[in-house]
């Protein structure tokens, strides 16, 4: 539905229309039929109230002209137009009500209990009455379509926001146009094909609501021309304006508390800095990037902004000026981390970046040059993954740049490779008894400082190594192993005093913060273990 600013009642009707459209797409059950009945009854209640209100506007126009001792020709023209609009609307509503009565009567009327209808479904009767016999398109809905669109054309000459058509085909309806099966239908088919009787009643109520809504828009515009529009404040609310949003402990907080109100019948024009401000629900929102060139010793700068609010009362514009003071705080970026002197290359370095001066409005976002920035779950938390020797972290709040911080990037320290036999580290000087060289484990031990700072990055595993049993200069046995542990019982059974075992580490992996195994360059560490 098109039109100007809608009242809550009109918005509710629009929402009911969307619900009605969705329900028509469902398989009809008795429960859904009952919901169609409830929807129709709700629309009828709203429509009755709207008819009363619209009649009241015409009465207000008459009263305003009567109070004028010398009414102008224009005043008389406005009254005549308003009465004509009211008459045409009454004719349109009467016609729609007649269609409702016809459908109810032809489907059996009310049930015996008086709580509903004898035949709430009645799909065939609705189709024959509203669409007509197959392929003839001579049902009542085609007359309704013509009358609705002629009515819209009539109103449009008095209010440019009235749409050119009220009765829309499938290709014209914004909801139906998205459905390939519905967009090919004409107005009658779209609204009354395979439609239960109670749903057809709801459709007619919705069209009646549109008629009354556009009548209200036109009458309100006519009333404004003679000063008969009454500003009703539907929204009344309490507000407070503080002298300062920032208060230090031990100092006084002061604020003005007052009542404010807005009306759905008027749309104020608002501006700031000579530019219009978007107005929603009677309120305009002023937004700008705060800036200052001079700060006091505490890092604060007092500023103010001025705006204008203009409303039209009885054909005259009245402008109010609003002046508001605010404080611009000099932003200071604070970075908290286990170590902020440098970050580790290709590791998830977790930082907590705060800007205390922004307080509760701090809404941070981060980007990084020389790395990747991943926003954390809590305000200010960010994970930086460097891919260069230096990273610059850019900090913004609410889309506004705050500043940046630079960090050096250090390489990941290599792990220490340790060989363990039978649960004890190998002593390459003293050696190992030949018959005891059985259970062997090769460990990659993380640097202690790196492990304390980034425990999720300091998870190492030796994934491949090779061992040789050597006698003199000749290997007499060998084995290659995947994983850190191996059983070298075969070596022990062949070994004699004076032999030695040579261990070469071939591959070491590190699990990063994602749980992904990455290669670790540990060089070519090896152990030469004498057997005794």
List pLDDT tens digits, range 304-338.
Answer: 889 898 887 555 577 888 888 877 777 777 887 65
pLDDT at 191 over 60: yes
Residue 382 located in a structural domain: yes
Least confident of 91-95, 176-180, 226-230: 226-230
Residue 338 and residue 433 share a domain: no
Q: Which of 348, 375, 410 is the last residue of a domain?
A: 410
pLDDT at 354 over 50: yes
pLDDT of residue 1: 41
Q: What is the mean pLDDT of residues 360-377?
A: 91
pLDDT of residue 359: 78
Residue 211 and residue 63 share a domain: yes
Beta bridge partners of 260: 237
Q: In whole angstroms, how far apart are CA 154 and each of 35, 50, 369?
A: 34, 20, 63
Residue 67 and residue 208 share a domain: yes
pLDDT at 182 over 60: yes
Residue 278 located in a structural domain: yes
Residue 338 and residue 324 share a domain: no
Residue 153 and residue 31 share a domain: yes
Least confident of 80-94, 130-144, 247-261: 247-261
Residue 1 located in a structural domain: no
Return the HEC string of 458-514.
CEEEEEEEEEEEEECCEEEEEEEEECCEEECHHHHHHCCCCCEEEEEEEEEEEECCC
Give the span between the Cα atoms of 469 and 528, in whole angstroms: 10
Residue 220 and residue 94 share a domain: yes
Q: Which of 198, 225, 252 is the last residue of a domain?
A: 225
pLDDT of residue 234: 61
pLDDT digits (tens, 9 = 90+) for 212-224: 999 999 998 888 8
pLDDT of residue 3: 43
pLDDT of residue 12: 60
Q: What is the mean pLDDT of residues 39-45?
A: 90
Residue 509 located in a structural domain: yes
Q: Is 501 left (phi over 0), alpha (psi -120 to 50) or beta?
A: beta
Q: Phi first, then psi: what are they for 150, rounded to 5°?
A: -65, -35
Q: What is the mean pLDDT of residues 46-64?
A: 90
pLDDT at 25 over 50: no
Residue 230 located in a structural domain: no
Q: Where are the beta strands (DSSP E) in 338-458?
A: 342-344, 349-354, 364-369, 371-375, 381-386, 390-397, 400-410, 416-421, 424-425, 439-445
Give the span between the Cα atoms of 335 and 333, in whole angstroms: 7
Residue 487 and residue 397 share a domain: no
Q: What is the mean pLDDT of residues 254-282?
A: 80
pLDDT at 282 over 80: no
Q: Could you tell me the two tokens for 52?
A: 């009363």
Residue of 235 and 73 predicted with greater confidence: 73
Q: Considering Cα of 39, then 41, then 46, then 48, what sign does the dihedral take?
A: positive
For the chain, the average pLDDT equals 85
Residue 518 located in a structural domain: yes
Q: Are 450 and 413 in contact (CB under 8 A)?
A: yes
Confidence of residue 4 (pLDDT cuts 50, 70, 90): very low
Residue 2 located in a structural domain: no
Residue 383 and residue 446 share a domain: no
Residue 82: Cβ within 10 Å count: 27
pLDDT digits (tens, 9 = 90+) for 96-109: 999 999 999 999 98
Residue 62 located in a structural domain: yes
Q: Is the pTM of this model over 0.75?
A: no
Confidence of residue 285 (pLDDT cuts 50, 70, 90): confident
The number of domains in the chain is: 4
CATH code: domain of residue 355: 2.60.40.10
Query: What range does the domain containing 323 cover?
Result: 235-329
Q: Are 430 and 465 in contact (CB under 8 A)?
A: no
Q: In whole angstroms, how far apart are CA 500 and each of 124, 497, 530?
A: 98, 8, 4
Give the span between the Cα atoms of 431 and 437, in whole angstroms: 10
Residue of 499 and 255 predicted with greater confidence: 499
pLDDT digits (tens, 9 = 90+) for 198-213: 999 999 999 999 999 9
Q: Phi first, then psi: what are they for 236, rounded to 5°?
A: -120, 125
pLDDT digits (tens, 9 = 90+) for 117-167: 888 888 889 989 999 977 678 899 999 999 999 999 999 999 999 999 999
Residue 40 and residue 170 share a domain: yes
pLDDT digits (tens, 9 = 90+) for 374-418: 999 999 999 999 999 999 999 998 888 888 889 999 999 999 999
Q: Which of 391, 410, 429 is the last residue of a domain?
A: 410
Of 287, 242, 233, the closest CA to residue 260 belongs to 233
pLDDT at 231 over 50: yes
Residue 457 and residue 312 share a domain: no
pLDDT at 465 over 90: yes
Residue 34 and residue 76 share a domain: yes
Give the span between the Cα atoms of 149 and 225, in whole angstroms: 26
Residue 214 and residue 112 share a domain: yes
Give the span between the Cα atoms of 147 and 126, in whole angstroms: 19
Confidence of residue 502 (pLDDT cuts 50, 70, 90): very high
């Amino acid at each position: 539905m098109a039109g100007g600013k809608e009242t809550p009642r009109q918005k509710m009707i629009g929402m009911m229309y969307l619900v009605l459209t969705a329900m028509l797409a469902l398989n009809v059950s008795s429960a859904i039929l009952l919901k169609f009945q409830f929807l129709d009854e709700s629309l009828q209640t709203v429509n009755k109230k709207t008819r009363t209100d619209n009649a009241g506007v015409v009465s207000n126009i008459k009263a305003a002209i009567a109070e004028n001792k010398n009414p102008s020709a224009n005043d008389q023209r406005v009254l005549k137009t308003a009465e004509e609009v009211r008459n045409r609307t009454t004719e349109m509503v009467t016609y729609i009500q007649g269609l409702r009565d016809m459908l109810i009567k032809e489907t059996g009327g009310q049930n015996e209990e008086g709580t509903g209808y004898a035949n709430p479904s009645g799909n065939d009767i609705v189709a024959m009455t509203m669409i007509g016999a197959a392929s003839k398109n001579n049902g009542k809905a085609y007359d309704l379509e013509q009358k609705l669109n002629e009515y819209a054309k009539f109103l449009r000459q008095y209010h440019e926001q009235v749409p050119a058509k009220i009765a829309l085909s499938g290709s014209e309806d914004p909801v139906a146009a998205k459905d390939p099966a519905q967009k090919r239908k004409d107005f009658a088919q779209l609204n009354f094909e395979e439609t239960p009787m109670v749903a057809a009643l709801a459709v007619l109520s919705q069209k009646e609501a549109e008629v009354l809504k556009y009548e209200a828009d036109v009458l309100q515009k006519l009333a404004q021309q003679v000063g008969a529009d009454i500003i009703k404040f539907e929204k009344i609310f309490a507000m407070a304006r503080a002298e300062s949003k920032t208060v230090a402990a031990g100092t006084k907080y002061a604020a003005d508390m007052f009542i404010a109100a807005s009306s759905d019948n008027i749309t104020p024009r608002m501006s700031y800095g000579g530019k219009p401000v978007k107005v929603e629900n009677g309120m305009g929102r002023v937004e700008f990037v705060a800036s200052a060139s001079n700060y006091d010793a505490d890092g604060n700068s007092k500023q103010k902004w001025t705006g204008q609010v203009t409303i039209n009362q009885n054909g005259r514009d009245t402008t109010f000026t609003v002046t508001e003071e605010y404080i611009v705080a000099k932003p200071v970026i604070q970075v908290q981390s286990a170590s902020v002197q440098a970050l580790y290359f290709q590791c998830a370095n977790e930082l907590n970046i705060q800007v205390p001066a922004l307080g509760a409005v701090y809404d941070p976002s981060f980007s990084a040059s020389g790395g990747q920035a991943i926003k954390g779950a809590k305000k200010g938390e960010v994970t930086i993954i460097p891919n260069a020797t230096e990273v610059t972290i850019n900090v913004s709040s609410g889309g506004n740049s705050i500043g940046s911080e630079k960090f050096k990037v250090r390489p990941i320290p290599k792990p220490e490779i340790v060989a363990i036999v039978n649960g004890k580290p190998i002593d390459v000087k003293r050696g190992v008894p030949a018959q005891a060289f059985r259970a062997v484990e090769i460990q990659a031990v993380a640097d202690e400082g790196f492990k304390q700072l980034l425990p999720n990055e300091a998870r190492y595993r030796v994934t491949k190594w090779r061992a040789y049993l050597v006698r003199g200069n000749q290997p007499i046995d060998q084995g290659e192993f995947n994983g850190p542990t191996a059983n070298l019982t075969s070596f022990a059974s062949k070994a004699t005093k004076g032999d030695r075992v040579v261990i070469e580490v071939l591959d070491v992996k590190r699990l990063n913060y994602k749980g992904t195994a990455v290669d670790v360059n540990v060089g070519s560490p090896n152990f030469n273990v004498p057997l005794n």
